[in-house]
């Protein structure tokens, strides 16, 4: 059968049209293969960084019409906390704070403006062009748990644009105000905790005995061993508190209990300021003190240096374990504040080290001044009482914030 030239042209035009149609359809299908990308946002009521990310999500939904934001409040909702825990297990990531965002099988812990927002955008743009896994959606479907998809996060920014975001300091240069609060709080808590008569009286008596020795090198080593061991015990104690709170996770009543401990401890400190004008330790009674004094005398008079050193270390360890009761409140409250901030493991322990350094600073000053002058200089009752007053006020305020406004204790 012969085909005319006109017929050939028609067939050619049909084939070209079909090719163009199929090509356009393929491109359109590729660009719109994903009708939407699901974003799962875990947040805490009162968390300022969560509020900042909510504002970002509001802007994001205007720019990208193909995304849905699912939000889950975890501080007050036990089901959402459990979901967050399961998501962390599936992602093989130990979730230690909010905000926590999941897009597909990618996760973002914490919020850093200019960093986290750009990373989330890149992942969303990538998933809008390719197949997007939905890890959290799969968990929700398999376990029939709820989280309501919202067209709006229902959030408003609480940022105060009138406040400066950075300040310029000598030597340090530009310092962000968002990053300065937690270090300052660490120094204040550690220093206040250091004015502890329960630990100081033992050090002062030890210095009295050491000053009677003729060997200054032995005096320096034994005294330093006592201080270093005391610092190590306190560091281990605070690290244990930290890991316990991290293990318990976002359980609301844990935070409330620690808040109540802070309020009660602060009230006790204020009572001590009013009643304990001598600034003496009430934890260690006279009988216990006499026993410690006898052991110190025996150890410092030990002719064999290594036995004396070992005895000082063991005794310092035992004394500090007993007298942790005298100052257990501040470390517990401080480690709770640490867990509210999204930090890496080395930052957690780094802050504890700074805390312990300032906790031991008064001991270091008293000891080295005594070694240099061969005279004992102790902490006066006036400073002890003053620390009770300031510490009590701060503890009460922190306790109230932990219960009612925990977000105010989350820093950059």
Looking at the predicted structure, is the pLDDT value of residue 357 above 90? yes
- 17 or 140: which leads in pLDDT: 140
- Rg over CA atoms, the chain: 31
- pLDDT for 76 equals 80
Tokens of 183: 């270090």
User: Would you list the DSSP string of 213-264?
Assistant: -S-HHHHHHHHHHHHHHHHHHHHHHHHHHHHHHHHHTT-HHHHHHHHHHHHH
Share of the chain above pLDDT 70, in %: 70
Q: Check residue 146 and give its pLDDT.
A: 47
The highest-confidence range among 150-154, 205-209, 306-310, by mean pLDDT, is 306-310
Cα 295 from Cα 229, distance rounded (Å)? 17
Any residues with CB less than 8 A from the CB of 327 and at least 6 apart, and which? 193, 196, 198, 199
Q: Is the pLDDT of residue 249 over 70?
A: no
Long-range contacts of 154-161 (CB under 8 A, 24+ apart): 154/54, 155/51, 155/54, 155/55, 155/58, 156/51, 156/55, 157/51, 157/52, 157/55, 158/48, 158/51, 159/52
Smallest Cα–Cα separation from 296: which of 370, 198, 223, 196? Answer: 223
386-409: average pLDDT? 79
Mean pLDDT of 256-278: 81
Do residues 72 and 83 touch, judged by C-beta distance below 8 A?
Answer: yes
Look at residues 339, 181, 195, 187 and name the one whose alpha carbon lies nearest to residue 258.
339
Confidence (pLDDT) at 126? 83
pLDDT at position 14: 55
356 and 199 in contact (C-beta within 8 Å)?
A: no
Closest CA to 110 of 156, 186, 48, 174: 48
Q: Which is it for strands 166-169 and 106-109: parallel, antiparallel or unpaired?
A: unpaired
Pairing label, strands 166-169, 100-103: unpaired
To 10 degrees, what angle do helices 305-323 and 286-300 make? 160
Query: Measuring CA to CA, which residue among 254, 256, 231, 253 is closest to residue 241?
Result: 254
pLDDT > 90 in the chain, percent: 7
Region label for 160, one of left (φ > 0), alpha (ψ between -120 and 50) or beta (otherwise): beta
Q: In this predicted structure, which of 203-212, 252-261, 263-272 has the lowest mean pLDDT?
A: 203-212
Predicted local confidence at residue 326, as pLDDT = 63
User: Between 214 and 305, whose confidence is greater?
Assistant: 305
> Looking at the predicted structure, is the pLDDT value of residue 262 above 90?
no
| pLDDT, position 32 | 42
Instruction: Please report, for residues 165, 229, 412, the alpha-carbon distance to residue 170 in angstroms, rounded to integers and kept in the order given.
Output: 17, 35, 21
User: So what's the pLDDT on residue 28?
Assistant: 41
**pLDDT higher than threshold 50 for residue 363:** yes
- CATH class entry, domain 30-150: alpha beta
Domain assignments of the chain as residue spans, ordered by start: 30-150, 176-409
Contact of 328 with 198, CB cutoff 8 Å:
no
Pairing verdict, β 166-169 and 173-176: antiparallel
């Amino acid at each position: 059968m012969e085909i005319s030239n006109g017929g050939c042209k028609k067939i050619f035009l049909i084939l070209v049209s079909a090719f163009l149609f199929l090509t356009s359809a393929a491109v359109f299908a590729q660009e719109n293969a994903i009708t939407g990308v699901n974003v799962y946002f875990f947040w805490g009521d009162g968390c300022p960084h969560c509020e900042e990310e909510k504002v970002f999500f509001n802007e994001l939904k205007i720019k990208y019409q193909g995304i849905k934001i699912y939000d889950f409040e975890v501080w007050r909702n036990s089901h959402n906390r459990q979901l967050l825990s399961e998501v962390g297990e599936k992602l093989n990531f130990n979730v230690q704070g909010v905000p926590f965002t999941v897009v597909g099988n990618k996760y973002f812990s914490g919020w850093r403006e200019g960093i986290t927002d750009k990373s989330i955008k890149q992942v969303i743009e990538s998933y809008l062009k390719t197949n997007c896994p939905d890890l959290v959606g799969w968990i929700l479907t398999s376990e029939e748990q709820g989280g309501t998809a919202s067209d709006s996060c229902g959030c408003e920014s609480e940022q105060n644009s009138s406040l400066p975001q950075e300040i310029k300091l000598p030597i340090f240069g530009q310092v962000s105000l968002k990053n300065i609060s937690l270090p300052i709080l660490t120094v204040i808590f550690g220093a206040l905790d250091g004015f502890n008569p329960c630990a100081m009286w033992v050090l002062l008596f030890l210095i009295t005995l050491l000053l009677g020795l003729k060997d200054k090198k032995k005096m320096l080593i034994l005294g330093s061993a006592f201080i270093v061991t005391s610092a190590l015990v306190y560091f281990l104690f605070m690290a244990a508190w930290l890991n316990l709170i991290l293990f318990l996770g976002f359980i609301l009543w844990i935070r409330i209990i620690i808040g109540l401990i802070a309020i009660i401890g602060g009230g006790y400190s204020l009572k001590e300021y009013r009643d304990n004008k001598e600034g003496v330790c009430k934890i260690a009674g006279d009988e216990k003190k006499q026993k410690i004094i006898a052991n110190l005398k025996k150890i410092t008079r030990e002719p064999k240096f290594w036995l004396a050193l070992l005895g000082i270390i063991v005794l310092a360890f035992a004394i500090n374990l007993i007298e942790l009761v005298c100052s257990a409140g501040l470390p517990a409250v401080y480690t709770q504040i640490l867990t509210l901030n999204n930090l890496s493991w080395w930052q957690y322990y780094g802050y504890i080290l700074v805390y312990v350094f300032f906790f031991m600073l008064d001991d270091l000053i008293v000891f080295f001044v005594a070694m240099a002058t061969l005279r004992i200089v102790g902490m006066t009752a006036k400073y002890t009482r003053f620390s009770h007053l300031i510490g009590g006020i701060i503890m009460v305020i922190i306790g109230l914030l932990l219960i009612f406004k925990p977000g105010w204790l989350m820093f950059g």
